[in-house]
Structure formats: structure tokens, C-alpha cells
Amino acid sequence: GAGVSQSPSNKVTEKGKDVELRCDPISGHTALYWYRQSLGQGLEFLIYFQGNSAPDKSGLPSDRFSAERTGGSVSTLTIQRTQQEDSAVYLCASSQAGSETQYFGPGTRLLVL
Amino acid sequence: AQSVSQHNHHVILSEAASLELGCNYSYGGTVNLFWYVQYPGQHLQLLLKYFSGDPLVKGIKGFEAEFIKSKFSFNLRKPSVQWSDTAEYFCAVRDYKLSFGAGTTVTVRA
């Protein structure tokens, strides 16, 4: 079956521009997570959506980062006024309700020049 | 807050050698433990997991891990590695979100 998909696979942007990253979770998965993988910081949790509950935004590094999930499915992570330190691979994962196992997408590699 | 420590940053082995990667966690609640693998150019894949029961868990591709509660450890092992095991390996602990270790890069020389 289809796994988690993310787009774009690569994004190059200039410092100060806004970017949007998209995640399509596995169909039927109610939980969705965003993580960031960067040199020196490893894999970090960013934000978590579970069903219709308010998202857990505790991992977002600054107020330039935001995310939404429409219709309980697709999610968009937005980074405003990008900085060079935002360069990283942004990973999305999803899981079924009541399951502890998260399935990861291929990631979006973001490079801020 | 939970944290995960992986002992080795980079391990280099020859084919057929045995592999053991150390992982220690710090978490006071019921632990869900995972090993994920990231092959070159590919996305993170689940290698194995431990939730409860038998502390020796077996995963894909001949990997296994042992949960030792008294040591807060969840070490990954494989008795005989192959060139195709070259990858980065991440240990993780979950409450609702995953907290990952820094990762161990494993290079297997043919």
C-alpha cells in the first residue's frame, strides 16, 4: 500500500523567503508528526497532530514555524522568513490510532541560501 | 523528559563480523523502544520495536535487540553483517512523540 509521501523532495530558497512543505499520511492514520533532521542536531520532534485535538507544538523552534492539518489528512509545514539554520531534512510520519509505530516519509530536503 | 544516548558515532566493520550498537535511554514511564534504519538515499524504516513481554526482540534482516530494564539499555545486535547493512541506525524512545539518539553510522566493508 502507499506510504507517507512528502513534497517537494528538495527545496532551495533564499534567506527571508517563506516555504511550504507538504505531507500526505498513510490513509486512515489519525496521528501525524513532523520531525527535522539536521547536522549537529540529529532528529528533532517539531509538532504532532492527533485527530481533531489541538496540535502539540512544543517542538517548534520559533514562531516562524507553523503547521496545519486539513480534514484530518494532509498537513502543511510553513516556515516564514527562512534562515540558513533552517536548512535540514523535514520528515513527516504517521501512525494509526492506538499504535505506537510511526511510519516515515522520504523527507523534504530544504536548503536556505 | 525522555532522552536517548547512542554510544557509537561511527562503526566500521568487515562483512561477516558481528555488530552491537549501544543505546541507553532516560525515561521514567512505560517505555516503547525502537530501532530505525536509514539506508543511503532512503527514508527511515522501522527495524524492530519493544513494547512489553520478551525482552529479546527480533526484527527484519536478522537484527535483534535486548531490553535490559535495570540498565536502561536497548542494544541492537546482528551476528554477521553484510555490505548491505551499511546505513545509519537510530535508537528511539516514545511517549507520544519519538525522541531519537544521535544515530550511529555503520560502514560494512566488503
| Alpha carbons B93 and B36: distance in angstroms, whole number | 11
Q: Do B43 and A105 touch (CB under 8 A)?
A: yes
pLDDT of chain A, 113 residues: tens digit per residue? 589 999 999 999 999 999 999 999 999 999 999 999 998 778 999 999 998 888 999 999 999 999 999 887 999 999 999 999 999 999 999 999 778 789 999 999 999 99
Q: Do A100 and B102 touch (CB under 8 A)?
A: no
Q: Do A107 and B94 touch (CB under 8 A)?
A: no
Residue A1 confidence (pLDDT): 54
Q: Do B43 and A101 touch (CB under 8 A)?
A: no
Q: Which residue of B has its CA nearest to A89?
A: B43
Average pLDDT, integer, range B2-11: 90
Among 2.60.40.10, 3.30.70.260, 1.20.1340.10, 3.20.20.80, name the CATH number for the domain at A24-94: 2.60.40.10
Q: Do A103 and B46 touch (CB under 8 A)?
A: yes
Residue B29 confidence (pLDDT): 73
* Structural domains of chain B, ranges and CATH numbers in brackets: 3-109 (2.60.40.10)
B94: which 3 cell numbers? 516514545
B62: which 3 cell numbers? 536478522
Give the tens place of pLDDT for each residue, B7-62.
889 999 999 999 999 999 987 677 899 999 999 988 899 999 999 899 999 999 99
Residue A52 confidence (pLDDT): 83
Q: Do A42 and B51 touch (CB under 8 A)?
A: no
Question: Three-state SS for A49?
Answer: strand
Question: Is B88 within 8 Å of B106 (Cβ atoms)?
Answer: yes
Asked if A55 is an interface residue toward chain B (Cβ–Cβ < 8 A), one would say no
| Alpha carbons B46 and B7: distance in angstroms, whole number | 20
CA B98-A24-A35 angle, 5° bins: 25
Residue B8 DSSP label = -
Please state whether the peptide bond connecting residue A8 to the residue before it is cis, i.e. omega within 30 degrees of 0: yes
Give the tens place of pLDDT for each residue, B91-100.
999 877 889 9
Residue A98 DSSP label = T
Name the residue among A45, A48, A101 with its Cβ closest to that of B46: A101
Name the residue among B45, B94, B101 with its Cβ closest to that of A100: B94
Q: List chain B residues with CB under 8 Å of A45.
A: 97-99
